[in-house]
Amino acid sequence: MKEVDLVVIGGGPAGMAAAVKAKEKGVQDVLILERENSLGGILNQCIHNGFGLHYFGEELTGLEYAARFIDKVHRMNIPYCLETMVLNIGSDKTVTAVNSTEGVFTIKAKSIILAMGCRERTRGALNIPGTRPSGIYTAGTAQKYVNIYGYMPGKSVVILGSGDIGLIMARRLTLEGAEVKMVCELLPYSSGLTRNIVQCLDDYNIPLKLNHTVVAVHGKERLEGVTVAEVDQNRKPIPETAEFVPCDTLLLSVGLIPENELSRDAGIELDPVTSGPVVDARMETSVEGIFACGNVAHVHDLVDNVSNESELAGESAAEYILGINVPDRSETIVVKAGNGIRYTVPQLIRKQSLSRDTVKIFFRVADVYRNVRLAARCGNNILVERKRIKVTPGEMETLELKSQALREINAGEELVIELRTDGEGH
């Protein structure tokens, strides 16, 4: 059985940033396992720009962003295996994988970083009734066909879901000559970035139908059209508003789900709201020495945040392997998603393990709110409060807390991240 100090599962932006940082912090023996035939992860099909504004201070396309990290991996001589699929992770930190040169092999790792990313929610999961013709794709799969294989999925398109991938594909397909008839969004607001609404829909006069969904699929062999309907406040379709829209392609951009099958197999505790592992402020999971970062931990909007989060995981894994700052796992503060907050990452803080001066808590709000204050509170003590003119579930928020302040909180107490509206005095 091979022994490796640090195994990084996934060679996308998360895995690469984590591996590079871990090596920078002194881990010599790092190995990245990647299932595709190149490093880069999902960025390899992201030909659009908008990446790197924060991390590099430049606006890059997905591939250019990935290339910067691939360069780092090469310059630092970090070995990686491509077309290698991890089959299983043991809670004893053994990793079993398969590829076409080594067959099935097992590695005993001192530490593992989970960076497997996420998959797309499917039509089946939405239970959309109707026929089952060809012509229905999740937006990411369509993106792969267009950007990597060089094929158009169809010529007249309806997109369900106003997430960023759907918006990006609306523009992409339009520029390649397809007619994108509409983007339907179940909720009363879009979950995509505003810049994408403007530059992908408004620029091309593609209508965005909020409070709408697809209620049926038609077509025996190839898609012939969909039935679209408005929904009420309970998100239930209003039958009188049903309208048949002829089209030959339906793109679904209805949610991303972190891929934690391997995490589950290893007995790692998952958070049912994020669908990712429960992690502490160092990105360590419930299994000592196994860390998680990037979309596998929670779905991100900006790859810049993925890089930062993954560097933290890499740093923490390095500390773990080198025996620096071994945390007392018993002194835990629970981070609670309070009023107006859907989830937080991390979900807990191990007081004694904080090696940086500050801790960033990432979170998403549960709805669109205006003129609010985002606060981190313990009991009656507000540690940090920030004013926001507008917050939306589609754009992840952060609050930065001083580690010293966190160490002063008693173990077993709750740190509540919450929304405070004007009029809430304390």
Tell which positions 40-99 bind another protein, by CB under 8 A: 44, 47-49, 59-61, 63-64, 67, 83, 85, 87, 98-99
Number of residues that bind another protein (CB under 8 A): 76
Q: Omega before 237 cis (within 30°)?
A: no
- Residue 146 to residue 143: CA distance in whole angstroms: 5
Site map 145..184 versus another protein, x via CB under 8 A:
xxxxxxxxxxx----------------x--xx--------
Smallest distance, another protein to C-beta of residue 129, A: 4
Smallest distance, another protein to C-beta of residue 72, A: 15
* Interface with another protein, residue 426, by CB under 8 A: no
Residue 86 pairs in a beta bridge with 97
Cβ proximity to another protein: between 285 and 392 the closer is 392
- Length in residues, the chain: 426
Cβ proximity to another protein: between 190 and 285 the closer is 190
* Interface with another protein, residue 300, by CB under 8 A: no
Two tokens, residue 215? 């209620």
Cβ proximity to another protein: between 273 and 326 the closer is 273
Among 2, 54, 74, 222, binds another protein (CB under 8 A): 222
Residues 394-423 that bind another protein (CB under 8 A): 395
Cβ proximity to another protein: between 67 and 210 the closer is 67
Q: Which of these ranges, 20-28, 287-295, 336-344, 386-394, lies near another protein under the rule CB under 8 A?
A: 386-394
Helix (H, G, I), strand (E, B) or coil at 417: strand
Cβ proximity to another protein: between 176 and 408 the closer is 176
Residues 301-340 that bind another protein (CB under 8 A): none
- Residue 356 to residue 362: CA distance in whole angstroms: 16
Among 103, 323, 423, 425, binds another protein (CB under 8 A): 103
* DSSP, res 348: E
Among 24, 25, 108, 133, binds another protein (CB under 8 A): 133
* Interface with another protein, residue 380, by CB under 8 A: no
Q: Which has the closest alpha carbon to 38: 17, 16, 21? A: 16
Smallest distance, another protein to C-beta of residue 39, A: 11
CA dihedral sign, ordered 217, 222, 224, 225: positive
Among 194, 358, 381, 421, binds another protein (CB under 8 A): 194
Cβ proximity to another protein: between 336 and 388 the closer is 388
Residues 8-47 that bind another protein (CB under 8 A): 35, 44, 47
Cβ proximity to another protein: between 98 and 366 the closer is 98
Residues 111-130 that bind another protein (CB under 8 A): 119-120, 122-125, 127, 129-130
Q: Which of these ranges, 15-23, 138-146, 304-312, 413-421, lies near another protein under the rule CB under 8 A?
A: 138-146
* Interface with another protein, residue 107, by CB under 8 A: no
Site map 251..270 versus another protein, x via CB under 8 A:
----------x---------
Widest distance between CA atoms in the chain? 65
- Asked if residues 398 and 360 have their Cβ atoms less than 8 Å apart, the reply is yes
Output phi, psi for 315, to 5 deg: -65, -45
Checking 274-278 for CB contacts under 8 A at 24+ apart, the result is 274/298, 274/299, 274/343, 274/345, 276/345, 277/114, 278/347, 278/348
Q: How many CA atoms lie within 13 A of 295 on its CB side?
A: 22
Buried/exposed 280-297: b ≥16 CB within 10 Å, e otherwise: bbbbbbbbebbbbbbbbb
- Residue 348 to residue 335: CA distance in whole angstroms: 5
* DSSP, res 161: -
Q: What is the dihedral of CA 358, 10, 284, 343, to 10 degrees?
A: 70
